[in-house]
Structure 1
Amino acid sequence: MTVEYAPGRLADLYGEPSRPTVLLWHGTQTDSRAAVRVLAESIAELGVGVIAADWDSHAADHGRADLLASVRFAQRTTAGAELVLVGWSLGGVTAAGLTLHAHAFGVTIAHTVCLGGAFMAEDPITGGPVLADIPASAFRAPFTLLVGTADDVIPVGAAEDFAAGLRRHDWPVEIVEVVADHGSIAGARYDAATDRYEPDDSAGTAVTARAVATHIVAVARHA
Structure 2
Amino acid sequence: MQPEVTRATARMANGKAVDIYRPSARCGPDPLPAVLIWHGIGPDERDILRPVAEAVAAGGTMVFAPDWRSDAPDRGRAHLLDSLEFVRKEAAGHGADPDRLVVAGWSAGAGAAVGLVTRPDLFDTPRPTAVVGIAGRYDVPARTTGTAPLDDVVAHAPEAAAVHLVHGTEDELDVTHSRVFAEALAARSWPVRLVEPVSDHAGVVMSEYDAVAGRCVPSASERARLGGEATVEAILSAASGLRA
**Residues 166/211 of structure 1: CA separation in 2 closer, same or farther (3 Å cut):** closer
Aligned to 1:142: 162
Where does structure 2 lack aligned partners over 5 or more consecutive residues?
1-7, 93-97
Correspondence for 2:116 among 77, 94, 98: 98
Q: Is the 8 A contact 1:82 1:108 kept in 2?
A: no
Cα deviation for residue 124 of structure 1 reads 1.1
Q: State whether structure 2 residue 50 is matched by structure 1 residue 47.
A: no
Q: CA RMSD in A?
A: 2.0
Q: State whether structure 2 residue 88 is matched by structure 1 residue 75.
A: yes
Aligned to 2:77: 64
Q: Which amino acid aligns with 2:114?
A: A
Q: Is the 8 A contact 1:145 1:159 kept in 2?
A: yes
1:53-76 Cα distance to aligned partner (Å, 9 max, x none): 111111110100001000001111
Correspondence for 1:2 among 9, 12, 15: 9
Where does structure 1 lack aligned partners over 5 or more consecutive residues?
none
Mapped partners of 1:119, 1:222: distance in 2: 23
Q: State whether structure 2 residue 214 is matched by structure 1 residue 195.
A: yes
Q: Which amino acid aligns with 1:36?
A: L
Q: Is the 8 A contact 2:117 2:128 kept in 1?
A: yes
Q: Select the structure with the greater relative contact order (CA < 8 A; seq sep ≥ 6).
A: 1
Q: Which has the larger radius of gyration?
A: 2
1:109 alignment partner, SS class: coil
Mapped partners of 2:215, 2:160: distance in 1: 34
Cα deviation for residue 207 of structure 1 reads 5.7
Cα deviation for residue 103 of structure 1 reads 4.7
Cα deviation for residue 162 of structure 1 reads 1.4
Q: Which amino acid aligns with 1:77?
A: E
1:31-80 Cα distance to aligned partner (Å, 9 max, x none): 11000100001101111110011111111101000010000011112243
Q: Which amino acid aligns with 1:12?
A: D
2:143 alignment partner, SS class: coil
Q: Is the 8 A contact 1:38 1:206 kept in 2?
A: no
Correspondence for 2:133 among 102, 114, 132: 114
Mapped partners of 1:166, 1:207: distance in 2: 25
1:161-190 Cα distance to aligned partner (Å, 9 max, x none): 212232343322121111321101012221
**Residues 133/120 of structure 1: CA separation in 2 closer, same or farther (3 Å cut):** closer
**TM, length-normalised to structure 2:** 0.82
**Residues 6/197 of structure 1: CA separation in 2 closer, same or farther (3 Å cut):** farther
Runs of 4+ aligned structure 1 residues displaced above 6 Å come to: none
2:151 alignment partner, SS class: coil
Mapped partners of 2:140, 2:174: distance in 1: 13
1:174-214 Cα distance to aligned partner (Å, 9 max, x none): 2111132110101222111232223x142643564244212
**Residues 211/174 of structure 1: CA separation in 2 closer, same or farther (3 Å cut):** closer
Mapped partners of 2:212, 2:219: distance in 1: 18
Mapped partners of 1:108, 1:82: distance in 2: 10
Aligned to 2:238: 219
